[in-house]
Chains A and B, each alone.
Chain A
Amino acid sequence: MHSSMLRNFVLRLVSLSLLSLGFAHTSGAAMISTQQLVQSEARDASLTRVDAILARDDVARQLVAFGVDPQAVQLRVGNMTDTELLALEGKLDKQVAGGSAVGIIGAVFLVLIILEVVGITDIFKKV
């Protein structure tokens, strides 16, 4: 089987399965999106529609694993661009999340302050 045929076959298969989940594509199957034009101008050929469609599915599953209501997930991933989906895929735990508390580092800081108060360190002294 020719590789581009295989690619198209996989693309169609995945598109169909996603469409059945309620996803809608922006334009016709063979219309090239403006985002793709911009990427081709930037010579960024690393992104294919197949990758993005698969990433959408992955990110949706990961969001649910991170506590997002399954009913809200479709809306959330459906409004992300291909580039955003690929950047998020597998990295939900590493992305900046505004609102996060300070974890273990806070305890380290507290230790530093205690050390300072009892006179063991002088780390807060202005030099």
Chain B
Amino acid sequence: MVDSSKRAAHASALFVLWFLAGCSTIPPAVSNYGAAPSSLELVDTPFYSQQQFQCGPAALMTVLTASGVATTLDAVSRQVFLPARQGSLQSEMLAASRAAERVPYVLAPKLSSITAELATGRPVLVLQNLGVSWAPRWHYAVVVGADAENGTIILRSGTDARRVMRTAVFLRTWKRSNFWAISILRPGELPADPDRGRYIEAVAGLEQTGHVQAAREAWQAGLQQWPNDAVLLFGMANAEYALGNFSAAERLFLAMLRNDEAPLIARNNLAMTLAAQGRNEDALKEIDAALNLATDPMLVDELLDTQSIILSARTGASN
């Protein structure tokens, strides 16, 4: 009886701490899980203490500052804090990183991808669920170190400048977010353990949201890692086009089309690139060639769309 009430008192004390702590809190005890990483700590990583519910802005501010972005906690909060939800959404964390001209690279779901980033000097932003699935406590924090000897992970977390967490506990809380972690890359930097698909997704997002110069540098770095990759060539060519470097774009699209397996939509963009240089007849030939091969109705639509744009440009030019 004494034993059980002591246990209950212990549980309620833990709970009260958990309830009061806002974004940062004490996670439940867990069993041993996962392997210990190697030891290192990025002691120079800045720390921004969070306001209530504002672990998202504080964590993002930490990794952006570590990546050389000059901003303020207020400005970051205005980009990622969602008042009615008292928190920050993952897609907004990615979007705000793009707004800062950085590449938000979503890491592969394993501890070694975090420690590999730490080894290159980049802290890693993680999403944890400090509660349980039916009573979630979603929390953003920044991993700045790992201590293999003691089996701990070191974080900038909430109002805690140096939070030391048992690796097993960290893994358990991180697992509940499906191991969501991002590294903030400067355009031109590659991840420590680069995964082609993840990298392309990150840079394509930057391109699509209009950060063309940053995307160009990132595609270029990607081509160092994966030379002649069709998607990277396409991305690089699109960036050159968007920057008005049409002859560079043309060379890249042609390089891509030298491969017989190159996607037909490269020909659509090549046509646009030729038209941008006033070579409307050449452009229309590319469209005709692509229309002869295209089977996908959406692609045919796109090609016809491009064709009509070029035809009206030609009419305009001859008037």
Contact = CB atoms under 8 A, between A and B. Distances in A.
B235 A95 contact: no
A17 interface: no
Interface stretch (B35-43, B135-143, B148-156): B135-143
Most buried by A among B127, B207, B309: B207
B272 A30 contact: yes
A77 B95 CA distance: 8
A29 B309 contact: yes
A35 B82 contact: no
Contacts of A125: 4, 7
Contacts of A51: none
Contact of B207 (A35, A41, A45, A78): A35
A106 B204 contact: no
B204 A99 contact: no
A45 B298 CA distance: 8
Nearest to B80: A76
**Interface bracket on B:** 35 or more
**Interface bracket on A:** 35 or more
B138 A96 contact: yes
A68 B83 contact: yes
A105 B19 CA distance: 11
B282 interface: no
Contact of B82 (A68, A77, A78, A87): A68
A84 B91 contact: yes
A34 B207 contact: yes
Contact of B138 (A25, A75, A88, A99): A99
Given A31-B241, A40-B296, A79-B98, 13 more contacts: A25-B210, A30-B306, A35-B205, A38-B204, A40-B265, A75-B99, A88-B89, A95-B90, A96-B127, A98-B88, A99-B23, A99-B56, A101-B86
28 contacts: A29-B309, A31-B272, A32-B302, A34-B231, A36-B265, A37-B265, A41-B231, A66-B85, A67-B83, A76-B92, A79-B96, A84-B94, A87-B91, A92-B82, A92-B85, A92-B89, A95-B91, A96-B136, A98-B88, A99-B54, A99-B55, A99-B81, A100-B86, A101-B86, A106-B19, A106-B135, A110-B15, A125-B7
